[in-house]
Each structure stands twice: as structure tokens, then as C-alpha cells.
Amino acid sequence: MAFAGKVWKLLVGIKDGLSLLFLLLFFFILFAILTARPGPAQIRDGALLLELNGVIVEEASAIDPIQALLSRSALTREYDVQDVVHAIDQAATDDRIKAIVLDMTEFLGGGQVHLQDIGEALDRARKADKPVLAYAVGYADDAMMLAAHASEVWVDPQGGAVVTGPGGNRLYYGALLDRFNINARIYKVGTYKSAVEPYERSSMSPEARENAEALYGALWEEWQAQFAKARPAADLARVTRSPAQWVEASNGDLAEAALAAGLVDRLGSRTEFGARVADIVGPDGFDATPGTFAHTRLDAWLRGNPRDSDGTAIGVVTIAGEIVDGEAGPGTAGGDRIAALLDEALAQDLAGLVVRVDSPGGSVLASEAIRDAVLRHKASGIPVAVSMANVAASGGYWVSTPADRIFAEPETITGSIGIFAVIPTFENLAAKYGVNSDGVRTTPLSGQPDLIAGFPPEVDAILQASIEDGYRDFLTLVSASRKLPVERVDAISQGRVWDGGTARQIGLVDQYGGLDEALAWVAAKAKLEDGDWHARFLGGDEPVYDNLLRNILFSDDGEAGRQPNSNGDFFALVAKRQQAMLGQVENDLERLLSMRGMQAYCLGCPAEPRRLAAAATPGSLLARLEAFFGH
């Protein structure tokens, strides 16, 4: 009887738990219906406050409610670069906005092209006589680039600024895999296809080093040129060439060093910064806390300033993140999902199509599914352009091949035309522990692939031949698209990664420019005048619950929305780099053990900001619910 009583109590507990969960979900839905879409009444005269507590991306990832509920870590907020640029441009011409404020205390970065796009929008606002003020506790490269476009740059006296430049080390696991008797079977084509090197080597190959030095050298030159143009008085050479002496000259005070080098204009606390903004835009009429000022936040501003929808539509499909098989995304380029979006848009009578690519590539099958869908639009007779953002490499270039014209920025990373696959087998590990395999085969391929016994020579030969055939297909696509001989494409391919400037010189890119330039080109080809067309972003609808989850996870007010991994002093920067390295180990291990199909992926490209920022941070959704509903 005692045992039956315990079972009964367990069943009752499970029933009560499920009832509580469903009740909670019911109130979630009810709350979403009542409050998830506040109106534009939240817009107030004052400053447009861009409190960038996360990363800038091409396409924000959808929030999985179950993952958010069960996760032990806080989700990193993602800001769509097109939203940020649109918000700044609208503020530049709106009399209600007296200034634009950048709070980058918790900014985690963005791609170089995205930072340039936002910086140019800030320049346009300044030309419209809207002052731009920036504040942070600590500035790293990405935050420093945005701040360079501000009319006043403030830093907390306890913080500072450092500029490290692009590049750094990555991890190599060749010796570790040998030690654990794991055989990473690598199939590839491309002298410079360094994606597989971490699994077979313990250091960078000379070819990969040559490519990386050229790529990062070009990106660094562009970064310095853009920074010097935005903030010409700053002594960047002193900061980057002799950083230790630069800091020692200010007795180790990074904030004073930043001020002395012209990286920032003023030292002050958040309260002092807020008082300065209040002098320009007026005090906050609803909050008398010191350091507050009249402002409108980004989300409310965007709701009150939707994108133009007048005139003929030009479609924009976004391919952001790794290209994978299936329905994944947004934020990840699921091949089936994007192909379906494109096929549904065939019935929308679009005047043209812009394919916006910000992807290091991925699955060859998914890349081909997207390319086929783009070709169906091209077959309808409309002009098709590709706009490359930060990265359009490997599979990201594969999906670009149908374009009539390819636009990229000098800082864009592209190329990496090559194919690979990695499959781990464990025959050596099994033998070490006395596990052997034996059996009967009717053909050389019977029982294959066998991950424990390993592959016979026939399987290795077939897999390598398949990779070489995929590479020839890639070369043929690029040759036809770029009107270059296959031999010439092969010479500039081999997995090599190029910066956008060099890519234009060798014929992989047609023209410098961003999304606006690509849209304007398509409009001209479609014989549309300015004002007679608008961009229609395909697949931009959010799930009903998405806005509610964003309100809870990324609340604009109070501690519920604060990220614990804010930009702080130099030691905080070191900690974030350590977290990013741990995230890289996790990604590399997952890529090795997932045994994906044939890949056109650029592991030699810099990691996505969202991946670097995704290192675990404390604070799950359950922890935030109490803070959210407690306000």
C-alpha cells in the first residue's frame, strides 16, 4: 500500500505540473493578444534611443518558445540591420527627434559591412543637424567603429577603449584526434579549402596562412580607412602599433588613454551622460531619476514608422546564416524554407528580385534548392540582383550564381569556391579496447558505411570522386554566371577566400554597393521611376507569440532585459574572448560528429557575431518571467 501511495502522489504531482504549465501557456497567449502590439503612442519628442544590447545581424533569428522556456542561458538579442538603418533615416527627417543616442554598454558586435551601413546612416542624420551621442563602459572594435560616427563619444571613467584589429587564432584538433584514435576521414577539393584543416592538422597550413594574411590585411585596411574618415583626429596608429606604451603613458587608465588618443571625447558616468543628453532633448517627463532624458526606444519607433509600401513591389529574399537542409530559420538559411518563400512569391507579380546574402555557406543540396528557386524567378523575365553583406562565401556564392548583377562592399568576404566532407570513423579506438568486427560481404560495399570498422578503399574512392564532381559542378555554375573560362574560375577558386575589393577585380563581383544600390539597379532594369516602387521582404511575418517572448526576454526597462555580458574593462573583454573560444570548440565538435552531407562552407571566414555572442550567459526565460511580470 505504501508503494501504491507513492505512485499515486507521483501521478498527482505530474498532473498538477502539467495543469500549471498549460495554465501558464494560456495566460501567455491571452497576454500576447492584449499587449503584444503597442501602438505608436509610445513615440515621444526627444531622443531616439538605440540601446544596442546584443548583436547586429542581417536577419534576426526566430525565438523557439520551448527552447527559451527550458534553456538555462539567456538568449542574445539580435537587431536586424535594415531596421536600425531605417529607424535612423526616419529620425533624421522627423522634427520630434532632437538627437540620436547610442548606448553600447552591452553591445556585442556586428559584421563590418553592417557597421558601415549603420555608420553611413548616422552620418546622414548628422548632416540633417541631428546630433549623435554615444556612450559605453568599454569600447571594442565594433562599438568603436559605430561610435566614430557620433558627434560626441562618452566613456565611463571606469572603462576604456581598445582596438585589436581582425584576426586571431583558431583551434586545431589533429593531434587530439590521433591521441583518442579517431580517424577524421576528409574528402575535399581546393588547395585553400582550409575548412577541414582543424581536423587533420595541429597548425595552419602555409596556403591557409597566405590566404588569411591577404584577407585580414585587406579587411584591416578598410577598417582603418573607414575609422579615419569618420574620426580623423584620433591617433589610431599609436593605439594599434604601440598599445602597451599608449596605456602606460596614462598610468594604466584605459579611459584616460582613450581620451588622450582621441578615441573618445569625454569621460563621464551614465548619469552624467544622461544629463548631457537632457540638455539637448529635454528631461524625461515620466521619470525624474538622475540621468534620464526624453526618448523613444527603437521598437516603438519602428512600429510608428513602418517601411514604405507604395508602388510596385521588388522582392527581397534574405539568405542569412548557415545554409542547411530543411525548414530552419529565420537566422539560419533552411533550403526548403527559402525555396518555398521564393515559389510563393512567384504569384505576387514582383517587378524584380534582390537576393540578400549574408552566409558562409553550408549544405550543397540546400544551396542548389535555393539556386533553382531563384532561377524560376529569373525565367519569369524579371531582373535578379544579388546583394552581398558581410559574407557570401562557398554555398553563399553558390546561391549567388543566378544573378544578373552582383553587388558587394570592399569589406565583404566572398569566394571560398570549394567542396568538402568530414566523416569520423572509430576503427582505431575500437581496436584499442578490444572491439573487432567481422562478417561476410557480397560486394565491396556491403555493410558500408561502417563507422566502427572503417571504410574500405572503394568507399574512400567513391566519396572523393563525389566531392570532385561537386566541385566541377560549382566551377561550371560560376563559369556560366560570370562568363569566365572554367580554367580561369578554377585558378581563382580552390577554396580561396577573397575580400570584396579583390573579388571585384578578378570578376566574382560586378559592382560596389549595398542593398539600396541593388534595389535601385533592379528598379532601373524594370523601368521604374523613383517613388514608384518599394522593397517587399519575403517571409518577414513573425509568429504570434514572437513579440511577447521578445518583450519578456529583451524588456527595454528594468533588469529583466539586461545582458550580464556587458562591455566592461579589458578583463571583461578577455572573458568574452574565452567564452567565444569555448563556443568555437562546441561548434567544431558538432560539425565533426554530425556527419553532414557534402558541404560548401567557409570555416576560414570570421565567425558570425551571433555565434560569438552565443556563449552561455546566465538567466533563463523562467528567471525573467518573474522580473517581467513583477514590474
* 358-371 per-position pLDDT tens digit: 999 989 999 999 99
Supply the residues annotated as catalytic: 193, 394
More confident residue, 576 or 339: 339
Q: Is 312-434+448-537 assigned to CATH 3.40.50.970?
A: no
Contacts of 464 (CB under 8 A, 6+ apart): 187
Residue with cell 533615416: 89
Question: Is 227:148 a contact under the CB 8 Å cutoff?
Answer: yes
Structure confidence at residue 453 (pLDDT): 82
pLDDT tops 80 at residue 499:
yes
Question: Is 524:354 a contact under the CB 8 Å cutoff?
Answer: no
Paired with 184 in beta bridges are 424
Cis peptide before 449 (omega within 30 of 0): yes
pLDDT tops 60 at residue 173:
yes
42-163+231-305+555-593+606-629 CATH: 3.90.226.10
Q: How far apart are CA 562 and CA 133, in angstroms?
A: 21
Q: How far apart are CA 553 and CA 303, in angstroms?
A: 19
First to last CA, the chain: 48
pLDDT exceeding 70 applies to what percent of the chain?
77
Q: How far apart are CA 50 and CA 80, in angstroms?
A: 13
Q: Is 148 helix (H, G, I), strand (E, B) or coil?
A: coil
Between 174-188, 338-352, 597-611, the lowest mean confidence (pLDDT) is in 597-611
Structure confidence at residue 204 (pLDDT): 87
Contacts of 180 (CB under 8 A, 6+ apart): 429
Average pLDDT score over residue span 94-120: 94
Which residues make up the CATH 3.90.226.10 domain(s) of the chain? 42-163+231-305+555-593+606-629, 312-434+448-537
pLDDT tops 90 at residue 57:
yes
Question: Is 45:98 a contact under the CB 8 Å cutoff?
Answer: yes
> Residue 539's closest CA among 315, 302, 380, 374?
315
Contacts of 630 (CB under 8 A, 6+ apart): none
